[in-house]
Amino acid sequence: MTIEAKPMGESRTISTRLVLPPDINHQQTIFGGRVMAYIDEIAAITAMKHAQSAVVTASIDSVDFVSPAVVGDVLELEAIVSSTGRTSMEVFVNVHSKNLLTGEKKLTTKSFLTMVAMGADKRPKEVARVYPETELEKSLFETAPDRRTHRQTRREMRH
């Protein structure tokens, strides 16, 4: 049985978080681990939307912290399934911080994660392929094979 391919935009998920005092470190900026938890959560939601099943995080492939966020900033997270394997999904997450008083918006974090769809039997299950529609989606889709190769090389080095 072949699963019909889906547009990448169908999995798009957006979330907004307010940076509060308990979220910050001694540098008065948000804890990187807090941002990573938000990224993992939105990646899981995005992958579940695509797979229509439970998912597990297989790897956090990259997390690039570009600029800090401070108390009072709003974090805007956006995620999309950027490519798929047989049972896995690469999810791209972009995080921007926004100062609601000044309107200044800046890229805070970019990340790629690999999620695996899980069936009711707790075993990996097949997922639909994705296809791009926008320029950003085309760029993510076209560069996905290089990222996949990098992940495989990294995995082989561990063994």
* pLDDT 10s digits, 55-113: 999 999 899 999 999 999 999 999 999 999 999 999 999 999 999 999 999 999 999 99
Q: How many domains does the chain have?
A: 1
pLDDT at 2 over 80: no
Residue count (the chain): 159
CATH number assigned to the domain comprising residue 85: 3.10.129.10
Query: Where in the sequence is the domain holding 44, given as residue range(s)?
Result: 6-158
In a domain, 58, yes or no: yes
Within a domain: 1? no
pTM of the model: 0.93
Cα gap 130→11, rounded to integer Å: 10
Phi, psi of 108 (to 5 degrees): -105, -45
> Rounded to 5 degrees, what angle do the CA atoms 109, 63, 31 make?
65
Query: So what's the pLDDT on residue 151?
Result: 84
